[in-house]
Chains A and B, each alone.
Chain A
Amino acid sequence: MKMNVTQKLIKEHLVSGQMEPGEEIGLKIDQTLTQDATGTMVMLELEAMGVDQAKTEASAQYVDHNLIQDDYRNADDHMFLRSAANRFGLYYSRPGNGVSHPVHMQKLAIPGRTLLGSDSHTCANGCMGMLAMGAGGIDVALAIAGEPYYIKMPQVWGVKLTGKLPDWVSAKDVILEMLRRYDVKGGVGKVIEYYGPGVEELSAMDRHVIANMGAELGATASVFPSDQEIKNFLSVQGREEDWVEITADPDATYDLHEEIDLSQIEPLIAKPSSPGNVVPVSEVAGEAIYQSYIGSSANPGYRDFAIVGEIVKGKHIAQGLSLDINPSSRQILTQLVDDGHIASLLSAGGRLHQAGCNGCIGMGQAPASGRNSLRTTPRNFPGRSGTKEDSVFLCSPETAAASALTGEITDPRTLDMDYPNVQEPKKVDFKKEQGLLEEPLTATDGMKVELEKGPNISSIPSMAPLKDQFEVPVLLKMGDNISTDEILAGGSRVLPYRSNLPRISTFTFEIVDDSYYERAMKLRDESGHAVVGGYNYGQGSSREHAALAPRYLGLKSVIVKDFARIHLQNLINFGILPLTFKDESEYDKLEQGDVLEFEQVRSKVKKSNEFEVGIKDKNEKVKVKHSLTDRHLDIILAGGIINWVKNKQESGV
């Protein structure tokens, strides 16, 4: 069978299922990455699972999100993450070393491998001939513990690149062209594989730019071949031995087809407030801007900064404008310093920030309300910049630089200058980045490490398996469309406690009923409780704590008309029995305060996907059903995936 690159990567890592689009497949994961926002919980989950050492080839913990330390909590998190990396055998990337995606590419990415990361832009490393996917924190914890990652077999979308980019047009314009054509859901259920002669015209970092924003298309992953360019990149990084060639077989086929002639692309820009709202820069030229922002994992390369340095060299940015320079990695920052580009940027009026995610995720450099901010970042949905009333445009470094000089959105082709010729560095001075990516300890040394938990970090307590027989009161009866924000909001009062389960649980369901926490805690160690809801329960942002916190408070079962998909998965993962009404009209039978009688539930859920639950003192029953697979049932019966893995670790299976 002639195979494309994606099929080769999947086949090489397939541990279960058939490679038919839509079928569930299990994939062996070779590498993982976690960033600090998601990583603290992942490390606590590893501890709770009883994992001794990472089972992956390479796992890395990056600190790139919470770099601004205005109290002890971020600093404590960093210390905890470092100790956990040492304990579990992970690489640890120190604050200031840079954004996970470009640093992983430079230091650890290996063609042919799978990478799972608890960050949605993990797909960026598809530029290296890897199958790189973003996932939830618990999925990454499982991968570190040696468990497969389960997805639906995606369609493979072949995008043939031909031609060569014109002057003043770069890789960002290519992915903006994809977003112009297909918008932000165009890649859902698909791996986007780029191939064709145009690929050879793109550097490894150009490919990173394109692969990164596969996330904005909603794609499962973005994949490029591993060719001579990737060999050269690895050679510069001192890792040529990691290179293997991976290209599509001649005459390989794709499920879907698209073609982009690079020579026909013009400078593009995504207008507020969606990455899919793409138009030619010329269409919005002349609009005044307040900020021009360079950096992020969507334009992380040396070239992306150097080209801006060359464009503004010897000139000065427009009066009143903020030109923010956010280096993506320390390695690139050092190279830009050595080659004089940082001097050019500063002399022109730029503001230099430390290497990290920074303003891309709204961690600093938030723009003024309602003022136009031009950014080389990947997302401009409302509020992503950190400003509620923001007005963010996404563009290439060339467009950002030209606009910084004029103070208005400017098509860079209209600048009165030749297109600068930027050469990528041919070597890396590794001495200048010494100690920034700490190597894993040996297993023997790692096992001796104690996790350093500050006062705001608390271990996940052990949770009991599902009982065969139990009676639980309905503490809440809710309506339709209850969102994860209503279950546990991700606001500034709440999120600082994400590593402190007892504390964060105090906020559970407070939007719905302020008395829930007190009532749940009174019953937690006696009976526990249930909640009832309507349609689309758990909709909204994927948030693991929206399942974990109620579980901590004793939630044993949720009975609703139907579930939002990701929240259903989270309930299963944390051992909460998710049930739906067989007859939706029976929702009306249940009232808050009713006591539900679950009898022989362990055997019932295995025997059939339908059974009855009694309502105590009412001489009535409700018919419920579940859609749990055998794997889900194992997890639920064990009391959640943490117990399930822990049991496996202890039994050595």
Chain B
Amino acid sequence: MGSQEFRCKACDGAGLLMDDEEWRYTCTVCSGDGYVSSFENQQGSRINDVDENHRILD
């Protein structure tokens, strides 16, 4: 967890995002933590597990 300053912009701290159909999945930017520290922000993105149609599988 971090401070409000590092609240994940992608999920707004909720830890979940939605795809086009509004299926929720764990935020890929903060890994569901809701916060992104300045250190974590420098790391490369994790590779999402998707199927042929880029449906998130994890």
Residues of A at the B interface (CB closer than 8 Å) are: 35, 37-38, 65-66, 118-120, 134, 136-137, 184-185, 188-189, 215, 218, 274, 361-363, 379, 381-386, 388, 479-483, 485-486, 489-493, 495, 510-511, 536, 539-545, 564-567
Q: Contact between B29 and A490 (Cβ–Cβ < 8 Å)? A: no
30 pairs across A/B with beta carbons < 8 Å? A37-B22, A38-B21, A66-B22, A185-B57, A218-B51, A361-B24, A362-B22, A381-B56, A383-B16, A383-B32, A384-B24, A386-B16, A388-B14, A485-B17, A485-B29, A489-B27, A490-B18, A491-B27, A495-B22, A510-B9, A511-B9, A539-B50, A540-B50, A541-B48, A542-B19, A542-B55, A543-B19, A545-B20, A564-B54, A566-B53
Contacts of A189 in B (CB 8 A): 52
Q: Contact between A382 and B58 (Cβ–Cβ < 8 Å)? A: yes
Q: Contact between A218 and B21 (Cβ–Cβ < 8 Å)? A: no
Main DSSP-derived SS at the A contact region = loop
Closest B residue to A357 using CB positions: B22
Contacts of A215 in B (CB 8 A): 55
Q: Contact between B9 and A188 (Cβ–Cβ < 8 Å)? A: no
Q: Contact between A485 and B54 (Cβ–Cβ < 8 Å)? A: no
Contacts of A136 in B (CB 8 A): 20
Q: Contact between B21 and A120 (Cβ–Cβ < 8 Å)? A: yes
Closest B residue to A386 using CB positions: B24
Known: A382-B58, A542-B19. 18 other contacts (CB 8 A): A118-B20, A120-B53, A189-B52, A381-B58, A382-B25, A386-B16, A388-B15, A388-B26, A483-B45, A485-B10, A485-B28, A489-B9, A511-B29, A541-B19, A541-B20, A541-B48, A541-B50, A541-B55
How far, in angstroms, from A568 to B9 measured CA to CA in the complex?
25
CB distance from A532 to the nearest CB of B (A): 16
Main DSSP-derived SS at the B contact region = loop
Q: Contact between B53 and A134 (Cβ–Cβ < 8 Å)? A: yes
With contacts defined as CB atoms under 8 Å apart, how many contacts are there between chain A and chain B in the complex?
Answer: 150
Q: Contact between B51 and A188 (Cβ–Cβ < 8 Å)? A: yes
Q: Which of A188, A382, A490 contacts B19 (CB 8 A)?
A: A490
CB distance from B56 to the nearest CB of A (A): 5
How far, in angstroms, from A454 to B20 measured CA to CA in the complex?
21
Contacts of A385 in B (CB 8 A): 24
How far, in angstroms, from A540 to B55 measured CA to CA in the complex?
8
Q: Contact between B57 and A540 (Cβ–Cβ < 8 Å)? A: no
How far, in angstroms, from A403 to B49 measured CA to CA in the complex?
32
Q: Which of A37, A184, A383, A540 contacts B21 (CB 8 A)?
A: A37
Render B7-43 as a binary contact track against A, CB cut-off 8 A, 1 for contact. 0011110111111111111111100100000000000
Contacts of B32 in A (CB 8 A): 382-383, 388
